[in-house]
Amino acid sequence: MDAGRPRLAPVGAPLMGKRRKARELALQLLYQLDLQEESSPEPHLDEFWMRHPVDAEVREFTESLIRGTKLHEAKIDEMISGYAQNWEIERMAVVDRNILRQGIFELLWAEEVPPKVAINEALEVAKKFSTQESSRFINGVLDRIHKELRPSD
């Protein structure tokens, strides 16, 4: 496994419901880190898990999403700036920016997650935490990235 790819939970391990829960929790901590302009999740994880107790599978997948997204955040933000036409990343809603970040991480660096699953899950999280309009925007950005950077998938 290369050093740039955090280990995600095995494909068959958590059920889809557990993975959705992990994605939602990851978004919550990514949102918090973004608002506090924090680059590392590590100082916040213990307190986060005290407030959100979950089983080991959910926790492992959540942390892999958070760490992976933060590890690649600079590259991901460049991509968002390039693919989100007529949008400055700083002006995006914080929740939308972090749904995109997490979705792009899964799309490009979480090889065991099929691209269509990564996109669909980002949209489901967006429907819960953002607006219908945001879901369409997020879908457009992720779809463009998928078609250009992973066209064979």
Mean pLDDT for the stretch of residues 122-149: 95
Q: How high is the mean pLDDT of the chain?
A: 90
Domains of the chain: 16-149 (1.10.940.10)
Residue 142 has what pLDDT?
97
Three-state SS for 126-137 is HHHHCCHHHHHH
**Is the whole model's pTM more than 0.85, yes or no?**
yes
Mean pLDDT for the stretch of residues 113-133: 95
Q: Summarize pLDDT for 59-69 with one digit per residue, the tens.
A: 999 999 999 99
Measured distance CA(66)–CA(123) in Å, rounded? 18
Above 70 in pLDDT, residue 9? no
Measured distance CA(120)–CA(44) in Å, rounded? 28
